[in-house]
Amino acid sequence: MATTKLIAPAARSSRVTQNARPATQRQQDYLLGVVYDLISEHGIDALTMRQVAEASNVSTGTINYHFQNKENLVISALEAAYQLPRDWESCSGSPAAQLRRIALSYVLRASSDRWWRFWINYLAASTRHEEMQAHQETRFDKQLAFWSNLVVEGVAKGELRKSLDPTDTARELLILVHGLLSVQFIKPDAKTRSFARERINKAVDALLREGVHKTGGPLERRF
Amino acid sequence: MATTKLIAPAARSSRVTQNARPATQRQQDYLLGVVYDLISEHGIDALTMRQVAEASNVSTGTINYHFQNKENLVISALEAAYQLPRDWESCSGSPAAQLRRIALSYVLRASSDRWWRFWINYLAASTRHEEMQAHQETRFDKQLAFWSNLVVEGVAKGELRKSLDPTDTARELLILVHGLLSVQFIKPDAKTRSFARERINKAVDALLREGVHKTGGPLERRF
Amino acid sequence: MATTKLIAPAARSSRVTQNARPATQRQQDYLLGVVYDLISEHGIDALTMRQVAEASNVSTGTINYHFQNKENLVISALEAAYQLPRDWESCSGSPAAQLRRIALSYVLRASSDRWWRFWINYLAASTRHEEMQAHQETRFDKQLAFWSNLVVEGVAKGELRKSLDPTDTARELLILVHGLLSVQFIKPDAKTRSFARERINKAVDALLREGVHKTGGPLERRF
Amino acid sequence: MATTKLIAPAARSSRVTQNARPATQRQQDYLLGVVYDLISEHGIDALTMRQVAEASNVSTGTINYHFQNKENLVISALEAAYQLPRDWESCSGSPAAQLRRIALSYVLRASSDRWWRFWINYLAASTRHEEMQAHQETRFDKQLAFWSNLVVEGVAKGELRKSLDPTDTARELLILVHGLLSVQFIKPDAKTRSFARERINKAVDALLREGVHKTGGPLERRF
DNA sequence: GATGAATGAGGCTTCATTCAT
DNA sequence: AATGAATGAAGCCTCATTCAT
């Protein structure tokens, strides 16, 4: 447990001492990884500084030395987590394929459960934590913009139907995947996950221009 | 809290002193109501026994006398909350109107925020609490069955299109409202709530048979 | 250590739970006595909740149950200490004798060291604690009024010289005793204390009307 | 802190690394100045090593490198502070003017508050710290001798009344200014400070020989 | 000389729970 | 049934001090 390595040192900065040398940065990133794991596992409220200290094999003083206090630690972990490379980020290919892939990342799998468990805890906690709430909102808007852009590109490349309104389409997809996410949390079984995958594929297929091959081969169905 | 096994929902009264006389029952129900309110307001983890005692004007000893310990108290409150009559339960009218009304109850309003904040906290907690998870599942299935049935009735009465598959339709609606719910948590502003309302109305309208009046009058738009 | 009994239950109230039953009141007063002793002994800043708990043979939880937090505990102790009966309060006799007695209470003796050590710590702490500062001021004003009044009465009874301005006289005396107090802290030896006693007696003598016996017999020299 | 025995004031340099070169000495003196400021501002007990490090723009390691530990640092700072030149030390003019000036230095002003706040904290701490107590005593005696000497000189120059006993006069003045100091701490407002100034001037005036100009011109009233 | 990350004891406080009344 | 004082473990955080660099 608690050994996940996070993003590259250069990628994180705010909230912690500026100009931190690489060693410090690495240590902080390591600690944030531990926190991410613990939150995914036990929820935000159950997180204790002692837990973090023990799981990361440092003293409680060290945690506070780097992050001042628990709130800052949690927020930092959240920020770091949100900057974790999603698997779809490295996803190349056509806009339509990218869109499908991103949308399919909302399907729970063993390897991504951690992230989504983290996410749902964050969402619940954000109902009583303004800063976290704002964070969620920002992230959603970015997501919306990114998806919209993919739609625009897909239309331009002739993959997607010309009649699509990019923002509406993106929003509709986002609502769908979040709805499916909820359902997957409510019914966390293989069948539900399978259904979610099919449903998402169907939704993306519906955006494709006539004549473009639907749901494609094994590459696209990997999820 | 953690991992304690809970007893089946039906056995609820067995959680508390056996053979409780009505006065005792009333007292306990009153306390559970207080707990529900507090959880809605501050989340499950923030609940303290002292809070409950003060909010209900009894002593901490009394709380423990009735519920033995905190976990038991919380679970009892959750179970009780899930048995609270939803406002749409008393909703009469055509199946289509009922369906619309139930679906619209997923739109956040001041008065219902409490319930949905409670719900999201419950959902997050359920990712690490088997019994709560089971509870969620049961509730979802009931919801699905109820909505399906409304579709069946609506088709029978000629309000809804004949081509509708009841279960598919109900599930699709449920996914939609849960998606909109997530979005409303992510962006808790009036515009988002307004959008959610319109989107739900549109979805229900799409189920109506040609010739049936869409979205209806003020009665149906109350939400 | 830490067994000083404080004032009667009825005398204290503010800051702690109102309507506390006598038993609670007694417990709180007992705890405040312990705190008073500890502050006298080690200063305000050195006081720890654990210390209080151990010295009073209760748990730390109990301390916080009664006083919520350390600041409140200290302030309560200060208020209680300021309501401790000074030995001159029970002092009867002529106004001049009372004045002399009160003034002489500023001479350190083993039995009153505790109080004055407490006082000097309070005074130092009050330079960075507004509420404590205000408290000091109030107390000084009361003292000034009380001493002035004694002068008025003394003049009326013909013990003190008619030409005395009550407030000026009282203030002048207060400055003197506080100056002597500082000196006694700076040089805490028998000689300095003895000097302080003589100096105070001399100052009071100077207020007496011609013909009135000076510094008097053993009764008045008890201090 | 507590009860550690301190070394004699004269040995101060021995507290720090031996054979310190001038640069080291300067560094240490600089740090002591920072400590003095911080203590004046927040009291002795509130001082933290980190505070010192940040205020002086060095690392905590450097502080400990120079002073080994906190106690040593604080004591060194206190000793250094007591060796700071008072502004009246550079005061020239007649003995009477010097006496007035020194006495008036006990009147709080913005610029001297720091020193006196420091002093009162030191005095309170000295009730439980033998070495600090001895320090206070020594300083008082020096002050007494210095003031006595000024009286002697003043009498010799014909400024002060011949009947004055130098030591008695000096002691009486010291008691007065310490009394006024206490009052100024108890009531830290402009009116009290103003009163203290007048009172001291009056006391010094009372020492002047008949015919010598009282309280003098603006130069002497600068305080 | 100087740094600053790391330590861990110890400070304050919260809180579920117990128990005499 | 109900009370509420008392408990003590555990939470968060601070801080003097150490030590590898």
Per-residue pLDDT tens for D55-70?
A: 999 999 999 999 999 9
- Rg (C-alpha) for chain D, rounded Å, is 20
Q: Which residue is nearest to nucleotide F6 (CA to C1')?
A: C62
| Alpha carbon distance D140, C67 (integer Å) | 41
Is residue A42's pLDDT more than 80? yes
* A33-66 core/surface letters (b: 16 or more CB in 10 A; e: else): bbbbbbbbbbbbbbbeeebbbebbebeeeebeeb
Cβ atoms of B96 and B154 within 8 Å: the answer is yes
| Alpha carbon distance D84, D67 (integer Å) | 19
Strand partners, C208: C160
**Which subunits have 3 or more CB–CB pairs within 8 Å of chain B?**
A
Smallest CA–CA separation between A62 and chain B, in Å? 26
Domain that holds residue C93: 88-205
Is residue D223's pLDDT more than 50? no
| Alpha carbon distance A64, A73 (integer Å) | 8
| Alpha carbon distance B45, B48 (integer Å) | 8
Per-residue pLDDT tens for B166-204?
A: 999 999 999 999 999 999 999 999 999 999 999 999 999
Q: Is the CB of A64 under 7 A from strand F?
A: yes
Smallest CA–CA separation between D21 and chain C, in Å? 36
Find the DSSP H helices in C43-189. Answer: 49-56, 60-67, 70-82, 95-104, 110-126, 130-156, 166-186
Domain-embedded: residue D223: no
Contact B123 A126 (CB under 8 A): no
| Alpha carbon distance D105, B18 (integer Å) | 80
A45 Cβ under 8 Å from any chain B Cβ: yes
Q: Coil, strand, or helix at residue A86?
A: coil
Is residue D109's pLDDT more than 90? no
Domain-embedded: residue D132: yes
- What phi and psi values does residue B151 have, to the nearest 5 degrees? -65, -45
Higher pLDDT, D138 or B179: B179
Domain-embedded: residue C180: yes
Query: Which parts of chain C register pLDDT below 50?
Result: 1-14, 17-20, 216-223
Smallest CA–CA separation between C26 and chain D, in Å? 30
- What does the block give as tokens for C215? 């510094």
Per-residue pLDDT tens for A123-139?
A: 888 887 777 888 889 98
CA A48 / C1′ F11 distance in Å? 7
- What does the block give as tokens for D85? 């030149």
Domain-embedded: residue C131: yes
C133 Cβ partners below 8 Å, 6+ apart? C126, C127, D188
Higher pLDDT, B134 or A61: A61
| Alpha carbon distance C57, A104 (integer Å) | 63
pTM: 0.76
Domains in chain B, number: 1
E strand spans, B118-223: none
- What does the block give as tokens for D36? 């003095």
Q: What is the pLDDT of residue C13?
A: 38
| Alpha carbon distance A23, B204 (integer Å) | 57
Domain-embedded: residue B72: no
Domain-embedded: residue C214: no
| Alpha carbon distance A75, A62 (integer Å) | 17
| Alpha carbon distance D208, D210 (integer Å) | 6
B39 Cβ under 8 Å from any chain A Cβ: no
Q: Give the chain B residue nearest A133 (alpha carbons).
A: B186
| Alpha carbon distance C80, C28 (integer Å) | 10
Residue D138 belongs to domain with CATH number: 1.10.357.10
Domain-embedded: residue D61: no
B105 Cβ partners below 8 Å, 6+ apart? B86, B87, B88, B112, B223
- Of B48-62, B104-118, C103-117, D112-126, give the range with the top mean pLDDT: B48-62
Q: What is the pLDDT of residue C210?
A: 79
Domain-embedded: residue D154: yes
- What does the block give as tokens for A10? 């250069």
B186 → closest Cβ in A46, A125, A140: A140
| Alpha carbon distance A55, A32 (integer Å) | 11
For residue A156, which amino acid is it? Answer: A
